[in-house]
Structure 1
Amino acid sequence: MYKLVWLFVIIILLLSPSKAISQCIEDWDKAQSEFKEGHLYSIPSILSGCLQDGFTKSEKVEAYRMLTITYLYIDDPYGAQNSFIGLLKLDPEYRIKPTDPVELEQLSKEYITTPIISWRVRGGINYSFVSVIHTNGSGNAKLNSAVYKPLLGYNAVGSLDVHFNKLISLGIDVDVSLNSYNYTNHLFDDLEGNQNAKDFQNFKETGLNASLPIYLKFTYPGVKYYPYVYGGYSPNYNIYTNSTASYRIIQEVNENPIEPKKLDISLIRNRFSNSVILGAGLMRRYKYNYIFIDVRYRLGLNKLLNEETQFDFADLEKYNANPNRYKDVIEYTEIYEKIDSQFKESDLSLTLGYVWPKYKPRKKKSVTFGGMLKEMFKKKGKDE
């Protein structure tokens, strides 16, 4: 007996949603028919039930659109505003269609549909480029044969965009990057530049960096695609730097390789630096969010070699106070015979990401940051 009761309950539960869906389809067809025939006053009551529960999201958008137009035609501005707000909450960037009446177009111009803020996450790759400011070395610096080669690095970025309007926004990033480059050199050339000893150095330098870029962004408001450009400033902090060093000494027919070793050289790198950033990208609307691709160039402005600590280990007082602090730098300088030149570092990055815009549809007379600024300058002009 109990089994039959439970079976009956399950059947009822399964049939209820399909019955509701069927009813909403009928209501939607009826509302469309009434709208075409001009029987506008009955439409709100026909749609109200399924707007609460029954329509899908896209169906609700169309239903609110029909309600807004209906209220505009029957001269009910309060109903039209409420219905249009309901539409914008579901589709904040609703675009007026060519078939929409001029009354709906005029109403849409009274509302702000720009996101207040947008959250972004992105990740990708970078290449680092070294610019030598002046050359240091144990031999004749003029005969230096050093080569710096960009290597693949990685970026992970979280962002906040503060929107002033559809075109202009302020971007703030938290960017964590792994930047790498390779250094090769032959030591002890003779005066004519011939590599007699052919001692070969190879260093792969990798730095973990955190930065806080701040920039002004200009976005073209398309329909599906939104290209943008931006520029700004980035303070940077070097968390650590290591170098995988190898050195091969060749004397006549004898080769004396020194085994590769990873050394912590953070001590001889400046922790803080500054950069100018320039970038461009393309967003594509995906449902009610966005996916995007971004290209950014970061121009390093500061010297990265810490010349004050480069040879600190030679000061016996400092060395004796903390020998372990200088262990890797001593090996780097004396065993692998690497004397760093002064340099700056820039990088080019390519990232892919996702955007979550946060909307609050509202009438343009509402208080906004941009509106407050306009009002301030407007009052100032009047006083003058």
Structure 2
Amino acid sequence: MRYLKYFILVLPIVIALEAQAQEEDCAFKLREAQQLYDAGRIETIPEMLQACLERGFTQEDRLAAFKLIILCQIYADDLEKAHAGMLSFLKRYPEYELTTTDPVEFRFIFEKYRTRPILDIGAFAGVSLTHGLISQPFTPFNLNNAKPKYTSDGFGFQAGALFNFYASSNIQISLEPMYAQSNFQLVYEQEPIEGIATLDHHEKQSYLYIPLSGTYEFIIGKFRPYARLGFQLGLLFANNTSSSGIFEGPDEDNLENRNQLNYWVFGGGGFKYKLNKSYIFVDLRYNVGLNQYLVSPDKRFTQPNHNWVYMYQDSDFRLNSFMISVGYARSFFNPKRVN
């Protein structure tokens, strides 16, 4: 039993020493291969370095070895192997970016391949502020004094999934299904029955949003700002109101009086910060409602509690909102020769 303990303690040390020795041996082989390449003796270099590509090189040395092997195959006029080597290189280093020190021959092969991601998958969450835009006001009171407005009633929130499809390195098509909750309230520029009661009307909605948008990304190193334009469908599946005036009542389900399928156009932007095969992002957007929120004008006067108890009538209005979200996405690559 005592020997087993010694074995368990010593084994990791032996493995670490062996790995270090192999690393040093592969580093020596790389230096020797570079000297042979500089002397124009390239025939044995690919075979010399091949074993160390799988195990033995540091990350930096493996990158240099891959490039050296590809250059040897180019100079040996074995373009089939050079292309196979480049494909292996890009599968291991899909986000590699050419540098000014890369030889023109290496650049020539590299540029024949699609190196951008094909898809990003991620998740995000954030907050929103919602307000209404009135096209035709209605109220039980004198409109000259009691001018209604639909304003934000605190923060809503949203959370969802991100699917980014790449049309090019800069242009992406984004699908972002999300759950969202928003809040707004009715206020008056001047209280219509001041001194008698304060009129309050609050609404809370729950949506399934399906936004589809196009983005243009500006590639500036790891920091990548982008602009976005898109169209959004929203399925309203819950709508609760709470109202008070001279009388105060419980929350009510007001879904039947609201359009359950809604439409928006939106614009915005944000930025990504690149990580290894992934990125974090901050997204800002403004949604502009395209349809009236009241399901039909007939419903304006057929809400007895709202009309007579709480002294509330729906105006013709659309809902706009501002959103900010933070998220994380993983990029997926499929390097492919394109010319």
What secondary structure does 2:174 align onto? strand
- Cα distance change of structure 1 residues 267 and 56 upon mapping to structure 2, 3 Å threshold: farther
Which residue number in structure 2 is paired with residue 64 of structure 1? 66
After alignment, is 50-59 or 259-268 more displaced? 50-59
- 1:231-257 C-alpha deviation (Å, 9 max, x unpaired): 12212111111123232x4xxxxxxxx
Give RMSD over aligned pairs. Answer: 2.6
- 1:130-176 C-alpha deviation (Å, 9 max, x unpaired): 10111112222332233432231112131212212212222222122
Indicate conservation of the 8 Å contact 1:186/1:198, yes or no: no
- Once the two structures are superposed, the pairs formed by residues 1-384 of structure 1 within 5 Å of their partners are 3-4=2-3, 7-8=6-7, 11-12=10-11, 14-38=13-37, 39-55=41-57, 57=59, 59-150=61-152, 151-185=154-188, 189=192, 197-247=195-245, 249=246, 258-259=247-248, 261-307=250-296, 310=299, 330-365=304-339
- 1:64-89 C-alpha deviation (Å, 9 max, x unpaired): 22322333334332332222222211
**1:273 Cα offset (Å):** 1.3
Q: Partner amino acid for 2:101?
A: T
Q: Partner amino acid for 2:261?
A: F
Q: Which has the higher helix share?
A: 1
- Unpaired runs of 5+ residues, structure 1, are 190-194, 250-257, 315-328, 366-384
The separation in 1 between residues aligned to 2:297 and 2:215, in whole angstroms, is 38
Indicate conservation of the 8 Å contact 2:300/2:314, yes or no: no
Aligned length: 335
Q: Partner amino acid for 2:274?
A: R
Indicate conservation of the 8 Å contact 2:36/2:45, yes or no: no
**1:57 Cα offset (Å):** 4.8
The separation in 2 between residues aligned to 1:188 and 1:163, in whole angstroms, is 53
The separation in 1 between residues aligned to 2:191 and 2:271, in whole angstroms, is 50
Indicate conservation of the 8 Å contact 1:187/1:198, yes or no: no
**1:59 Cα offset (Å):** 4.6
- Cα distance change of structure 1 residues 311 and 9 upon mapping to structure 2, 3 Å threshold: closer
The separation in 2 between residues aligned to 1:197 and 1:12, in whole angstroms, is 85
- 1:245-272 C-alpha deviation (Å, 9 max, x unpaired): 232x4xxxxxxxx446422211211101
Q: Partner amino acid for 1:34?
A: A
After alignment, is 340-349 or 178-187 more displaced? 178-187
Q: Partner amino acid for 1:66?
A: L
TM-score by length of 2: 0.88
After alignment, is 289-298 or 212-221 more displaced? 212-221
TM-score by length of 1: 0.79
The separation in 2 between residues aligned to 1:359 and 1:112, in whole angstroms, is 9
- Unpaired runs of 5+ residues, structure 2, are none
Q: Partner amino acid for 2:242?
A: T
